[in-house]
Structure 1
Amino acid sequence: MKERQYEIIESRENMKKFKVSLLQLDIVFGDPETNYINVEKYIKKAVSDKPDVLVLPEMWNTGYALDKLGDIADKGGQRTKNFLSNLAKRFAVNIVGGSVATEEAGKYYNTSYIFGRKGNLISQYQKVHLFGLMNEDDFISAGSVQNQFVLDDVKAAGVICYDIRFPEWERKLMSKGQQILFVSAQWPAKRIEQWRMLLCARAIENQSFVVAVNRVGEAPKNSFNGHSLVIDPLGKILAEGTTDVEGVFTCEFDLDDLTEVRGSIPVFKDRRPELY
């Protein structure tokens, strides 16, 4: 069978709509081989909706099998980069690659990779805020750089899970005109209401769209129930993965909504950073 060809969109200068597909996945604990196969399956399913960007959850290659990282972490992130680059190019789609466990010079990181439609690496990010309740800080090293990037002329930023509890971090990331905040997570079911409230707050205070993907399924010490979200700049939930099973959730929104919201209440203009 001849492989379907996907058209690369060179510019969205005159296009207002932006379509995102959220891959709300189960993650097999400590089993990269199975997880790579599953991610590829769902990417192939998601592209049928012709999204502008695919978004994956946090630590999808290994789960939080932190005591096994010496054997299963992606060395230099090379496997993941090749994997996502090839899929982005094959399907001519942007990919916000969630995050994976990587090993760099003897240290382990929770690392995100973002790829453009031509398979080019646009940005990479190592999680800055490490979550002690899941023992992340005992095994993972913290990053120290920002994750700001452009997808089809749309300015965006990306964070990972626990990062959303630090609004000063998001404000820094969103302060240069970013229109979308992407969030990838493994957020446990027992704190899911906090997930929803925190993300709505991040959307309102930064007057931006928030696209947030959470996993589903079971891990040795936690259960996960999805509730992946797309939120508009006023805090309205546009789409939510309310089931606790794997699935692809696609949502299209109008980027021109940002102009009206930011014009009526100019939060960034009215800031007084000299006081805080």
Structure 2
Amino acid sequence: MNPKIALIQMSSIFAEPEKNFSHAIELMDEAMAQKPDILVLPETFNTGFFPTDNLEELADKEGQTTKKLFSEYAKKHSVNIVAGSVTTLKNNKVFNTAYIFDKHGKLVAEYDKIHGFTPSGEHNYYQGGNKLVTFNLAGMKCGIIICYDIRFCELVRSLALKGIELLFIPAHWPLIRKNHWINLATTRAIENQMYVCAVNACSKAGDTIFGGNSLLINPCGEEICHLDEAEEVQFGTVDLSIIKDIRESINVFRDRKPSLYEL
């Protein structure tokens, strides 16, 4: 089986969670016409990135809305969902949280973004996570990071060493740094010999335009999907035999010398 992934490049309305949840469902319904195995949304699609005023009031309390909405949708449509990430309030602290559901509606993973984007002050408003997360989805071992996390190669390599075959990266990445986004996602795929599914928002917040250019990249660094800058849905399939072939022909994991690395 070669799982089919729907990259849902969504535009969120700043600080309007109810409208954004509804719009996410509309786009998911559109995607389901092509019968994908996995639906993937961008970062903080419920609030946009990121309201600094009354953030606690806008956040999804304990992820209740996200869990109910996407668990029911996954079960009803028999589809796996990487629900991007949402602004959540957990134990009276705000987190940037990704929830992942299997096709039976079971919550199989929960990841809190580790690295807050300090240039915009994200770390002052969101608590940072402290756990790496892997999970199985559609017959693949997967991992997830969120947006700014992509700049930390040690984090991604740590996930690769746990044996992941597909890395999800929901993001709210600005258009002005589009080249960084594309090059980092491609590099993470090549250096770790895995698939990367990087789904970016295409919203606007103040003067900041978030740049789309969502990507599905194979372990050779080849683009299976490369979306434009506007809201859209595209599809790509994952062939795990490519991972096996490249890891056997260029075995970087075998040839590593971690005793020499100072990190």
Give me the TM-score of the superposition, normalised by structure 2. 0.97
Cα deviation, residue 273, structure 1: 1.7
Q: Secondary structure in 2 aligned to 1:49?
A: coil
Deviation track 1:153-206 (CA, whole Å, cap 9, x = no partner) reads: 210101100000000000001112211011000000000000000011000010
Counterpart of 2:150 in structure 1 is 164
Which of 30, 37, 40 is the aligned partner of 2:15? 30
2 CA distance for matches of 1:159 and 1:49?
Answer: 26
CA contact (8 A) 1:30 1:68 kept: no
Shift of 1:67: 2.2
Give the aligned partner of residue 273 of structure 1: 258
Q: What CA deviation, in whole Å up to 9, does each residue of 1:114-165 have, x standing for no partner? A: 0000000000000001101222111001000111000122101011000000
Instruction: Compare 107-116 and 219-228 and name the one that shifted more.
Output: 219-228
Once residues 138 and 27 of structure 2 are traced to their aligned partners in structure 1, the CA distance between those partners, rounded to angstroms, is: 22
Q: How far apart, in 2, do the equivalents of 1:99 and 1:126 lie?
A: 9
Partner of 1:44: 29
State whether residues 3 and 138 of structure 2, in contact with CA within 8 Å, keep that contact through their aligned partners in structure 1.
no
Listed as ranges, the matches of 1:234-273 within 5 Å are 234-242=220-228, 244-273=229-258
| Rounded Cα–Cα distance in structure 2 between residues aligned with 1:157 and 1:148 | 4
Q: Look up the match of 1:65.
A: 51
What does residue 4 of structure 1 align with?
A: none
- Asked if structure 2 preserves the Cα contact closer than 8 Å seen for 1:180 and 1:210, the reply is yes
In the alignment, which of 1, 6, 21 is matched to residue 6 of structure 2?
21
CA distance in 2 between partners of 1:214 and 1:96 (Å): 13
| 1-structure distance, mates of 2:124, 2:162 | 34
**C-alpha contact 1:23 1:42 (8 A) present in aligned 2:** yes
Partner of 1:137: 123
Q: 2:168 aligns to what?
A: 182
Task: Provide the rounded CA distance (Å) in 1 between the counterparts of 2:35 and 2:183.
Answer: 30
2:87 aligned residue (101, 119, 122): 101
Given the alignment of the two structures, is residue 120 of structure 1 paired with residue 109 of structure 2, yes or no? no
CA shift digits 1:36-73 (9 cap, x unpaired): 11001011111111111110000000011132212111
Q: Aligned residue pairs: how many? A: 260
Which structure 1 residue ranges, 4+ long, deviate > 3 Å from structure 2? none
Distance 1:185 1:199 in 2: 11
Instruction: Please point out which of 183, 190, 195 is paired with 1:209.
Output: 195
Confirm whether residue 194 of structure 1 aligns to residue 183 of structure 2. no
Sequence identity percentage? 42
Structure 1 segments unaligned to the other structure (5+ residues): 1-14
| Distance in 1 between residues matched to 2:106 and 2:238, nearest whole Å | 25
Amino acid at match of 1:124: E
SS in 1 for 2:210: strand
The question of whether the paired residues in 1 share the 8 Å contact of 2:176 and 2:211 is answered with no
